[in-house]
Structure 1
Amino acid sequence: MHALEMKQICKAFEENSVLKNVDFTVKKGVVHALLGMNGAGKSTLMKILSGDYQPDSGKIFLSGKEVSFSSPQDAKTSGIGILVQEVDTSLFPELPVFENLADMPNEDFLISVSRQKSNAIKLVNSIGLSIKVEQLVQDCSLQEKQLILLAKILSSSSDLIILDEPTAPLSQSETSVLFNIIKMLKKSGTAIIYISHRLSEIKEICDSVTILRDGVTAYTNSVAATDIPVMIKEMTGSQSGLKGAAGKSSVNEEKLSLKVRNLSIPQKQTAVDFTVHSGEIVGIAGLVGAGKTELAQALYGLSGEKVSLEVEGKAVSVSSPSDAISAGICLIPEERRRQGLFIKHSVAENITSQILKKLSAAGWVNNRKQRNEAEGLMKQLTITPQSTSIAARYLSGGNQQKVVIGKWLKTDSSVYLFDEPTKGIDIAAKQEVFDIIGSLAKSGKSILYFTSEWQELLEVADRILIMYNGKMVKELSCRETSLEEIIYYASGGDQSGTNRTSDNKETYERKSSSVSI
């Protein structure tokens, strides 16, 4: 029996038609993948299902019964749970974990707190999360927040669960735990909608797949009958693949743009040394927890300590983002909605936020100049829809990411820090981000590309520095390395600092093949 039927769903924002008579069906006890390029309509369709938006037309049926939702609470009451990509929007950061996991307190406050803590401990243990339930959510890591929200959904006994990019912040072991939970839910008859840009995961965990393209249902089939090239073709309308960064290998070996010596990473109690040349794209690879984000934050003045650097040959001291920006360092953060955007403000306000002084006189922003600058940047970056007034929250993930990048393009930044820049965006948007990075490198900018998507580094970077447990353990040339070698060192393999040779090739291949990634 069908757990969900959405029939002829239509939705538009202003003059932008996002969903056009979309049909979407999910059976009970099935993991159904929902795929599509950024802007295809996936998020809008799921926001309608979860009560955030109301459709302009169309009908929704749960277990054969027609329903309509005027709020997320209505959807929750009807048995729909959602694990959103931006977890901070669904948690209360200033409350402890146990209160976030609580449903409703009992009349007796003391008994309620005791029961809340007891239930919370059972829930976090059930998903393999080692955390004190008294800890404030704002002090938890991104992957811990993701698992907390998953535990909250599980506690609600939902009949239909929406998982939006659920593994994006998770380690491999945490992903394995999630997949085991999904298999358990399937056996209990729960229907699951699984949204991800990691197509190998779709093949591993999903039973069926629906692909949206340009707001319409383009493809529905079993996953077994749909290989990855077919998924890409149906999402893009053509056979498509990543081509790397346009402008790669524009390194000026004679000019150092960034020199880092003994830079402290307080969270790891370690220090690192490295350099970046003008026009060079340096990948920083590592597993979740290796220290990549902490390094990016330290370079941007967010570590709480004063950092001494050389930028364009000049000694600088960075202890705040303001210092970093003045030194010519900018950050495209991992959590774009929370850290990179004023999510409720317009695209124009966001994309010009770093050049307001140039657009202002006597403390007032010239709206015409701001709009013209925004329109130029949006055209340059192919941001859609082409409306400077639309709020950033209504853009797809890929277009939001281009806004975050775009706000730095008219500044004097010489060093760009990209922290997981392709997280949660589709193949076409990834290619656009790669092209932007390549253009920046070609113009002489220096790029640090922090990612756990290692295959991307082989396509984007000139050189790769591998982090393990807060330390730089290996330097690799993209022309001479392989994905297997990156996996080997990033997973804590031989850290002697010597390159693999033909004499130890057999040992290397045996070790790398045993690594679980």
Structure 2
Amino acid sequence: MATLQMQGIEKQFSGVPALRTVNFEVKAGEVHALLGANGAGKSTLMKILTGAYQLDGGTITIDGQQVSIESPQDAKALGIQCVYQEVDTALIPYLSVAENILLDRLVQAKGSGLINWQRLYTESEELLRGFGFSIPVKMTVEECSLSEKQLILIARATVQKAKYVIFDEPTAPLSTKESERLFQIIDQLKKAGVGIIYISHRLPEIFEICDRITIMRDGQHVITTETAQTSMDEVIGHMLGKSFAEEFPKEIVPIGQPVLEVKGAKGGKVRSADLTVHEGEIVGVVGLVGAGKTELARLLFGADAAEAGEIKLNGSTLRIRDPKDAVDAGIVLVPEERRKEGIFVEESVKNNLSVATISKWSPLGFIRRGVEAGQAKELVQRLGVKTADISQLVGYLSGGNQQKVAIGKWLDTDASIFMFDEPTKGVDIGAKSDIYRLIGNLAKQKKGILYFSCEFQEVIGISDRILVMFEGRIVKELSPEGATQELIMYYASGGE
């Protein structure tokens, strides 16, 4: 039986091991799940397989022959394809469905100056029909739905005669019905002898469609087992390992009156969300990739449009159409993608820290530079930002110090609700402790805190209440005393 094997794979970044002698294999005609918590090394391993990264040690063999994969082109030539969760990054929106499916052939044909357009359209239609779908092949990709875009990527992989296909969180953007269609296609590929590597945080679907499971943790291989020989509880135990023994500097703060009340919030991935945040309360919102945490934060901040729902702040109903409305009302957000949305990387520390309160230093439109600089220096000291000078560009600071600046710009506003989306992502342990302390100080000031994270132990350590999200809904409320990583994983993976 044809087999792809990765043996003893090692990878380091700046001297820090990301993969340590990892073994993984996938056979032709099987669906093999690759599982692990965030940071386990799954993505790094697959980037090596697809040529985005080069391995530092180990070997890759296909059908017993050792191969060298130094670029994505090498991987494709060997029959390795990837269907990414972010389908838009792999498609050209202004080209037609047919052009995207047969993109490689189109490039070759343009080189010779000869393109048989009718043949291009006919072959694309036949490919899609083979999967049981009918998509107008002359339609541009930007007009397609998410599920149609995924189908286009699968059709492209098929026409390129893929032997092994990686599905990276493929159901995250899909509805239940669209996911069922995807599973049918995967079954067709499996029957055609294609080896499938399936990465997902949704355990019920792993047990539905996968033949074997490999689990990684902390850059190492933990176990490979037949799906039929294990259980969801065992998989969760292998994924989490020992408890993360980090101290959380959380103080006991009296919980006051309700500040934020949300009923029936709906929009985009958020299907239904009811929640309340009180004065001095830290409410953790936890879920896996694709659960809708970030989308809920963006919805409450006005960055995404709400389709339904009611938001009350201090008893008054709000109409939030954009982030300015949210900030004016007293709701602020420290977003997950800090370099894209939380800071201005090409601006100074001073300008970043004053941007949210610039009106205080600019009466009649004239900025009082001295007062602005003094306030920035005071914030740098209060936040513990390590910078040579307030004029230093934020883009040159470490990730933890950038995050402190992203938080710091809101500290002197009159906000009542502070939302943090993955605030310790890419941050070292020392900076994490500083961020927990900052959030604790906000709670002591009677601010309401919404803390969005997929780090289970972190949420247990910092929260007064925990809300678990799954597929766009808040499905369970837990107390930190009654919550465990295993219990959160159970509900976050679709358990009832």
Q: TM-score, normalised by structure 1?
A: 0.61
Q: 1:284 to 1:165 in 2, by over 3 A?
A: closer
AA in 2 matched with 1:76: K
Are 2:353 and 2:408, in contact at CA under 8 Å, matched by a contact in 1?
A: no
Partner of 1:445: 448
Are 1:176 and 2:175 matched, yes or no? Answer: no
- The correspondence of residues 314-325 of structure 1 with structure 2, limited to 5 A, is 318-325=320-327
What is the letter of the counterpart of residue 208 of structure 1? R
For residue 229 of structure 2, give the secondary structure of its aligned residue in structure 1. coil
Q: Is 1:76 matched up with 2:88?
A: no
Please state if 1:156 is matched with 2:163. no
Letter in 2 for 1:320: D
Change in 2 beyond 3 A, CA 1:410/1:151: farther
For the aligned residue pairs, the C-alpha RMSD in angstroms reads: 5.9
Does the Cα contact within 8 Å between 1:33 and 1:193 map onto a contact in 2?
yes
Aligned to 1:189: 193
1:230 aligns with 2:234: yes
Q: Are the structure 2 counterparts of residues 309 and 22 from structure 1 closer, same or farther at C-alpha, using a change threshold of 3 Å?
A: closer
What CA deviation, in whole Å up to 9, does each residue of 1:418-460 have, x standing for no partner? 89x89xxxxxxxxx9xx99x97889642649899xxxx9xx99
Residue of structure 1 in register with 2:66 after alignment: 66
Give the paired residue count: 425
The amino acid of 2:323's aligned partner reads P
- Residues 304 and 35 of structure 1: is their aligned pair in 2 closer, same or farther, counting only changes over 3 Å? closer
Paired residues of 1:348 and 1:374 also in contact (CA < 8 A): no
1:199 counterpart (177, 197, 203): 203
The structural deviation recorded for 1:17 is: 0.9
Larger Rg: 2
| 214, 219, 223: which one aligns with 2:223 | 219
Paired letter, 2:448:
K
Question: Which deviates more, 27-36 or 104-113?
Answer: 104-113
The equivalent of 2:488 in structure 1 is none
Check whether the contact 2:164–2:195 (CA below 8 A) recurs between aligned residues: yes
**Residues 89-168 of structure 1: pairs in structure 2 closer than 5 A:** 89-103=89-103, 104-105=105-106, 106-107=109-110, 112-127=116-131, 132-138=136-142, 140-168=144-172
Question: Please, which of 331, 334, 337 is the counterpart of residue 329 of structure 1?
Answer: 331
Query: CA–CA distance in 2 between the matches of 1:301 and 1:25?
Result: 42
Deviation at 1:153, TM superposition (A): 2.4
- Percent of residue pairs identical: 35
Does 1:27 find its partner at 2:31?
Answer: no
Cα deviation 1:133-179 (Å, max 9, x = unaligned): 45544455544444433333233221011111122122212221222
1:411 corresponds to: 410
In the alignment, which of 257, 260, 270 is matched to residue 260 of structure 2? 257
CA distance in 1 between partners of 2:470 and 2:164 (Å): 40
Cα distance change on mapping 1:276 and 1:8 into 2, 3 Å: closer
TM-score, normalised with respect to structure 2: 0.63
- For structure 1, the 5+ residue unaligned runs are 241-245, 377-387, 393-398, 423-431, 480-516
Relative to structure 1, is the Cα distance of residues 465 and 209 closer, same or farther in structure 2, using a 3 angstrom cutoff?
closer
Superposed, which structure 2 residues align to 1:221-300 within 5 Å? 221-238=225-242, 252=256, 254-257=257-260, 278=279, 279=281, 296-297=298-299, 300=302
Amino acid at match of 1:151: A
Distance 1:410 1:185 in 2: 51
What is the CA–CA distance in structure 2 between the aligned matches of 1:70 and 1:346, rounded to whole Å? Answer: 35
Q: Is the 8 A contact 1:284 1:467 kept in 2?
A: no
Q: Secondary structure at the match of 1:224?
A: helix
Amino acid of the structure 2 residue aligned with 1:356: N
- Would you say the 8 A contact 1:165–1:197 is kept in 2? yes
Unaligned runs of 5+ in 2: 245-249, 359-368, 388-394, 424-432, 479-495
